[in-house]
Amino acid sequence: MNKAERQKQLVARLQEDPFLTDEELSEIFAISIQTIRLDRLELGIPELRERVKSMAENSIDKVKSLKKSEIIGELVEMNLGKSAISIFETLNQHAFEKTRIVKGHHIYSLAESLAIAVIDAQVALIGVANIKYKKPVYSGQKLVARAEVIRQRGEDKYFVWVKIRVKSEEVFRGKFILVSFSDQESEGEIH
Amino acid sequence: MNKAERQKQLVARLQEDPFLTDEELSEIFAISIQTIRLDRLELGIPELRERVKSMAENSIDKVKSLKKSEIIGELVEMNLGKSAISIFETLNQHAFEKTRIVKGHHIYSLAESLAIAVIDAQVALIGVANIKYKKPVYSGQKLVARAEVIRQRGEDKYFVWVKIRVKSEEVFRGKFILVSFSDQESEGEIH
* Residue-wise burial string across B25-39, b where 16 or more C-beta atoms lie within 10 A, e elsewhere: bbebbebeeeebeeb
User: Residue B191 has what pLDDT?
Assistant: 45
Which residues in chain B are contacts of A128 at CB distance < 8 A? Answer: 130-133
Which residues in chain A are contacts of B103 at CB distance < 8 A? Answer: 70, 112
Q: Are strands A169-181 and A123-133 parallel, antiparallel or unpaired?
A: antiparallel
User: Residue B183 has what pLDDT?
Assistant: 52
pLDDT tens for chain B, 191 residues: list them. 889 999 999 999 988 888 888 999 999 999 999 999 999 999 999 988 888 887 787 788 889 889 888 889 999 899 999 999 999 999 999 999 888 999 999 999 999 999 999 999 989 999 999 999 999 999 999 999 999 999 999 889 999 999 999 988 999 999 999 999 765 544 444 44
Residue A141 to residues A41, A105, B28, Cα–Cα distance (Å): 26, 16, 50
Structural element, H or E, at residue A174: strand A169-181
User: Residue A58 has what pLDDT?
Assistant: 77
Residue A99 CB contacts under 8 Å (≥ 6 apart), including other chains = A136, B123, B181, B183, B186
Q: Please compute, for residue A84, the number of CA atoms within 13 A of its CA located in the half-sphere on the CB side.
A: 32
Q: Residue A83 pLDDT more than 60?
A: yes
User: Residue A16 has what pLDDT?
Assistant: 82
Q: Taking Cα atoms as reference points, which of B131, B122, B110, B109 lies closest to residue B177?
A: B131
Q: Are A128 and A177 in contact (CB under 8 A)?
A: yes
Instruction: List, for residues A126-158, the tens digit of each pLDDT value.
Output: 999 999 999 999 999 999 999 999 999 988 999
User: Residue B80 has what pLDDT?
Assistant: 94
Structural element, H or E, at residue B104: helix B104-117
Largest CA distance in chain B: 63
Q: Nearest CB to B105: which of A67, A108, A134?
A: A108
Residue A87 to residues A71, A84, A117, B103, Cα–Cα distance (Å): 11, 10, 14, 20
Which residues in chain A are contacts of B127 at CB distance < 8 A? Answer: 132-133
* Nearest residue of A to residue B64, measured between CA atoms: A98
Q: Nearest CB to A133: which of B101, B108, B190?
A: B190
Which residues in chain B are contacts of A64 at CB distance < 8 A? Answer: none
Q: How far apart are CA A162 and CA A165, in angstroms?
A: 10
User: Residue A49 has what pLDDT?
Assistant: 82
Average pLDDT value for chain A: 90
Instruction: Using a CB–CB cutoff of 8 Å, tell me whether B81 touches chain A.
Output: no
Instruction: Using a CB–CB cutoff of 8 Å, tell me whether A98 touches chain B.
Output: yes
User: Residue A69 has what pLDDT?
Assistant: 84
Residue B118 CB contacts under 8 Å (≥ 6 apart), including other chains = B78, B80, B81, B82, B83, B84, B147, B148, B149, B160
Residue ranges of the alpha helices (H) in B17-74? 22-29, 33-43, 48-60
Segment A90-95 mean pLDDT: 95
Instruction: Using a CB–CB cutoff of 8 Å, tell me whether A153 touches chain B.
Output: no
This complex has an ipTM of 0.78
Strands (E), chain B: 74-79, 83-89, 123-133, 142-153, 157-166, 169-181
Residue from A112, A133, A187 to probe the interface with B (highest B Cβ count within 10 Å): A133
Which residues in chain A are contacts of B125 at CB distance < 8 A? Answer: 101, 104, 133, 136
B144 pairs with which residues across the strands?
A: B87, B165
Q: Residue A184 pLDDT more than 80?
A: no
Q: Are A172 and A107 in contact (CB under 8 A)?
A: yes
DSSP state of B122: S
Q: How far apart are CA B146 and CA B82, in angstroms?
A: 11
User: Residue A67 has what pLDDT?
Assistant: 86
Q: Residue A121 pLDDT more than 50?
A: yes
Q: Nearest CB to B125: which of A113, A136, A183?
A: A136
Instruction: Using a CB–CB cutoff of 8 Å, tell me whether B176 touches chain A.
Output: no
CB contact under 8 A, B104 and A126: yes
Which residues in chain A are contacts of B113 at CB distance < 8 A? Answer: 105
* Nearest residue of B to residue A104, measured between CA atoms: B126
Cα A88 to its chain centre, rounded Å, is 7
User: Residue B155 has what pLDDT?
Assistant: 86
Q: Taking Cα atoms as reference points, which of A50, A25, A45, A44 lies closest to residue A35?
A: A25
For chain B, list the domains and their CATH numbers: 3-45 (1.10.10.10), 54-187 (3.10.129.10)
User: Residue B106 has what pLDDT?
Assistant: 96
- The Cβ of residue A145 has, within 10 Å, a number of other Cβ atoms equal to 25
User: Residue A182 has what pLDDT?
Assistant: 65
Instruction: Using a CB–CB cutoff of 8 Å, tell me whether B96 touches chain A.
Output: yes
